[in-house]
Amino acid sequence: MLDTAPDPTAERLRLHQLLTGDARALFAADVRRGLSTQPKQLFPKYFYDELGSLLFDAICLLPEYYLTRAEHEILTRHAGEIIAAVGSAQLALLELGSGSATKTRHLIEAICKRQPQLLYRPIDISAAALETSARVLLQSYPSLRIEAYASDYDTALARLRAEAEHERVTEAESNLSNAATRNHTLALFLGSNIGNFDRAEAETFLRRLRAVLRTNDALLLGADLKKDPARLVAAYDDALGVTAAFNLNLLTRLNREFAADFKPRAFRHVALYNEVHGRIELYLESRRAQVVHLPALDLEIAFAAGERMHTENSYKYDLIELDELAARTDFARTQTWTDTARRFSSNLLIAV
């Protein structure tokens, strides 16, 4: 007989599906736009099909790719200290790009040690990933409630800003002031995700996030630090070629989804450090002159020998740049934790 017992975690989970429209149509429009510009480009958000996600998990285990290990070290050693630095108020967590929430567990555990309940609001593009990680977390932490948003960042932040504005209006109309008793929000933007925005985009993104937060709320911002360019390039061009496979898998995905005839072996992975802009740049370089057809998009694209198609940037920061970014977006950096080798930073920014 099948076990039909109800899921005991269901009442502690709400999943909001904010994604609208046709994701494949958006993908097609981005591919058409990127391949029709000069220089050509593809967009890194499309790296993560099933194989791409597996390859990225493998990248995180590579000796050259220090970023994941460095941040894990910081959160393992300093989670309690980070939570204490936010202040003594009751906290709620808001995480952008939550994924599996593996690293977030350190912060959840630190908060659950000091307060009886915790509301966690993760935002991720994948509803399946959100539901899977939420079920695991709810089984591990009985005091946890999760309100998850399957969405891109802009849509989710617009929704949260509207909710925050409604709450403020309600308080004003009711002559209520619960500033002393309301939860403070600790927003999380972990990994080196801020590095995927260019400098202007990073500022725009943090302004949108700041509009959701109140004064004295906080943001824990992960940022990869500037260092020896050779060390940086090695992290994105490993000896085993896993990152190359990850980059080239974009072409395989285009072949599958748009009936394209890219020959991945006719391209090579290129990673370089742009000193002027302080960023790693990833490209796919055509090994020879060739023409690629994408019949599903009615496209025919010519590549010259040696022509590079841009696929990703990863910006690196120093602490002065982080201070300037915080100041321009109505935050103040109050504390920074690094791994023992000082390769990666977790930065506490307070909304001012």
User: What are 118-157's pLDDT values in tens digits?
Assistant: 999 999 988 888 999 999 999 999 999 999 999 889 999 9
Percent of the chain with pLDDT over 70: 96
Q: Are 209 and 157 in contact (CB under 8 A)?
A: yes
Mean pLDDT rounded to a whole number for the chain: 93
User: Which whole number is the average pLDDT over 161-182?
Assistant: 74
User: Which whole number is the average pLDDT over 311-333?
Assistant: 98
Q: What are the structural domains, with CATH classification, of the chain?
A: 33-62+240-315 (no CATH), 67-227+319-351 (3.40.50.150)
Q: In the structure, what pLDDT confidence band is assigned to residue 8 with cuts at 50, 70 and 90?
A: confident
**Which residue in 22, 58, 27, 57 sits closest to 45, CA to CA?**
27
Q: In the structure, what pLDDT confidence band is assigned to residue 215 with cuts at 50, 70 and 90?
A: very high
Q: Are 154 and 174 in contact (CB under 8 A)?
A: no
181, pLDDT greater than 70: no
**Which residue in 9, 15, 19 sits closest to 147, CA to CA?**
15
| Whole-number pLDDT of residue 176 | 60
User: Which whole number is the average pLDDT over 323-343?
Assistant: 98
Q: Are 202 and 322 in contact (CB under 8 A)?
A: no
1, pLDDT greater than 50: no
User: What are 32-82's pLDDT values in tens digits?
Assistant: 999 999 999 999 989 988 899 899 999 999 999 999 999 999 999 999 999
21, pLDDT greater than 80: no
Residue 338 phi/psi, 5-degree rounding, is -125, 165
| Whole-number pLDDT of residue 6 | 63
Q: Which residue has the higher pLDDT, 33 or 21?
A: 33
Percent of the chain with pLDDT over 90: 83
The tokens of 88 are what? Answer: 């003594």
Tell me the C-alpha distance between 266 and 271, whole Å: 17
3, pLDDT greater than 80: no
Q: Are 279 and 314 in contact (CB under 8 A)?
A: yes
The tokens of 275 are what? Answer: 């000193």
User: What are 254-266's pLDDT values in tens digits?
Assistant: 999 999 999 999 9
| Whole-number pLDDT of residue 30 | 95
